[in-house]
Amino acid sequence: MSGPADVEYTDVRELRGPLVVVAGVRGVGWDEFATVALDSGERRHGLVLEVDRDLAVVQVLEGTAGMGRTGTRVAFSGTALRIPVGPGWLGRVCDGRGEPADGGPPVLGGSYAAVGGAPINPVRREPPDEPVLTGVGAVDVLTTLVRGQKLPVFSAAGLPHLELAVQIAAQATCGGEPFAVVFAGMGLTHADAAFVRDGLAERSAARDLVLFLNTADDPVIERLLTPRLALTVAEHLAFTQGRHVLVVMTDMTAYCEALREVSAARGEIPARRAYPGYLYSDLASLYERCGRIRGRPGSVTVLPVLTMPAGDITHPVPDLTGYITEGQIVLSAELHATGTYPPVDPLSSLSRLMRRGTGPDRTRADHPAVAAQLIAALARSRQVRELADLVGRQALSPTDLPHLDLEDGFRRRFLAQGTTENRPLDESLDRAWEVLLTLPDSQLGMIPAELLDAHRPQRNEGRYQGPYEGHGEEQAEEREEQGEEREDER
């Protein structure tokens, strides 16, 4: 980090939460880096939040505990906070301020970059069009992550969002091209921090990972710095070193609560649910730093994870995040209650850039059609289940009955996988086909006929035991014909 200037100011007017108000300053600018020296010899670091004439409000990254108005000296560097950047970060575990937490030496680099960063110029953006495969079937097939995309995970308390974030960070690949993961944990318990370190130990040892861990008992100001450090390191690895970088940030709700606490300490007028009015622009300043730059190698892909208080998707944090990002992966408490992992709700989840990153020469030729048909079939399945609750199973038509069983088959055969299972995309798509082929061909109208012809033999190979198990082939065909007749009557 930048070093202090020679001029030190001692007129500390106020200590308010994590903030220090210094008087008599000259030539100090917003977002400037500061060093705070105590009589004990301890040095702390801060950033200038506000300047009003000769008063400067400094947020102290380590907090103001143990500080007094007398005996405190503040020096301003004249520049914004900067950190060394380069491949030296790979394989390192650091705290939320970027200080080593793995017992190693400080991270050094050949150059420095401002932590504040800036969103990518829209004119220079290259549209995302290549997939990042996570090894999680529900994500890879139904909500494909694309290089340069920002795709959040919406969760709630008690759901395994941290397990999913660690699994994606441990397994993600980019088609054999140079790849790295930057993981930023915010407000984690010590048990969760240990879980993250253990789950990503192999990737860290391979020097493909940068790990920033801010724990719940660390100063709240540090939580605001953690994602900016992660993105600054990722940008250099991507646009200078030529790597494709996945940035996983969890939990963004903890970040927003820290922002709310600092805003309250500054005496700002609160907006929705006491969050500051600039919450939207602050989140955008983080999310919009991802993407691809025309003429430069590499990409930055962002996967923010956030917990919705009380599962409320209209809460300001998920609400504003949804406006900025390109879709969402929603975890379901109902699926989690059945013991299914990952409990991804396919009908609430969406990747708006999926079509650009799937298909021939990217994933597989049948991928877009299979994904669309599976979502449509699951939507029909949910409608049929609600109808069965009203009129009973016996009143359903022959074409409705397979849909009634499809959701359960989807959950058991396609969705469920282990927390350390790295499932190849081909296997995930084959499992999707097995689920779909339990339906009559008349219900698979979104899949081209040539694809159906190529996969239809799988129905008789016993690869999936569907609702017609134990019935002869003639009986199954008769059911299909009856279903088509009922459809014509309707």
Q: What is the pLDDT of residues 309-331, one digit of tens each?
A: 989 999 999 999 999 999 999 99
Confidence of residue 475 (pLDDT cuts 50, 70, 90): very low
Q: Do the Cβ atoms of 186 and 251 come closer than 8 Å?
A: yes
- The pLDDT of 381-394, averaged and rounded, is 89
Rg (CA), the chain: 26
Task: Return all residues near 490 (Cβ < 8 A) that are at least 6 apart.
Answer: none
Q: What is the predicted pLDDT for the residue at 238?
A: 96
Confidence of residue 479 (pLDDT cuts 50, 70, 90): very low
Residue 38, beta-bridge partner list: 72
- pTM for the model stands at 0.87
Backbone angles phi and psi of 18, in degrees to 5 = -85, 10
Start-to-end C-alpha separation, the chain: 71
Residue 291 has pLDDT above 70, yes or no: yes
Q: Which two three-digit tokens encode residue 211? A: 């790990």
Say if residue 129 is preceded by a cis peptide, omega within 30 of 0.
Answer: no
Confidence of residue 412 (pLDDT cuts 50, 70, 90): very high
Q: What is the predicted pLDDT for the residue at 140?
A: 97
The lowest-confidence range among 10-24, 241-255, 420-434 is: 10-24
pLDDT tens sequence across 227-262: 999 999 999 999 999 999 999 999 999 999 999 998
Residue 465 has pLDDT above 80, yes or no: no
Residue 2 has pLDDT above 80, yes or no: no
- The pLDDT of 456-460, averaged and rounded, is 55
Chain mean pLDDT for the chain: 89
Confidence of residue 442 (pLDDT cuts 50, 70, 90): confident
Angle between helices 252-265 and 220-239 (to 10 degrees): 130
Q: 327-330 and 209-215 as β-strands: parallel, antiparallel, unpaired? A: unpaired
- The pLDDT of 221-229, averaged and rounded, is 92
The lowest-confidence range among 1-5, 30-34, 338-342, 389-393 is: 1-5
Sheet strands (E) in 39-144: 43-52, 55-60, 72-80, 82-85, 93-95, 111-114, 131-132
Q: What is the predicted pLDDT for the residue at 138?
A: 96
Residue 372 has pLDDT above 50, yes or no: yes
Q: Do the Cβ atoms of 221 and 20 come closer than 8 Å?
A: no
Confidence of residue 6 (pLDDT cuts 50, 70, 90): low
Residue 202 and residue 80: Cα distance in Å, rounded?
35
Q: What is the predicted pLDDT for the residue at 175?
A: 84
Q: What is the predicted pLDDT for the residue at 81?
A: 86
Name the residue with tokens 């990518």: 120
Backbone angles phi and psi of 428, in degrees to 5 = -65, -40
Residue 347 and residue 378: Cα distance in Å, rounded?
8
Q: What is the predicted pLDDT for the residue at 476?
A: 41
Question: Hey, how many other C-beta atoms are within 10 angstroms of the C-beta on 206?
Answer: 11
Q: What is the predicted pLDDT for the residue at 457?
A: 65
pLDDT tens sequence across 109-128: 889 998 988 888 889 999 99
Question: Percent of the chain having pLDDT more than 90?
Answer: 67
Residue 155 and residue 307: Cα distance in Å, rounded?
5
The lowest-confidence range among 353-357, 366-370, 446-450, 464-468 is: 464-468
Amino acid at 161: H
pLDDT tens sequence across 49-80: 889 888 999 988 888 888 888 889 999 988 88
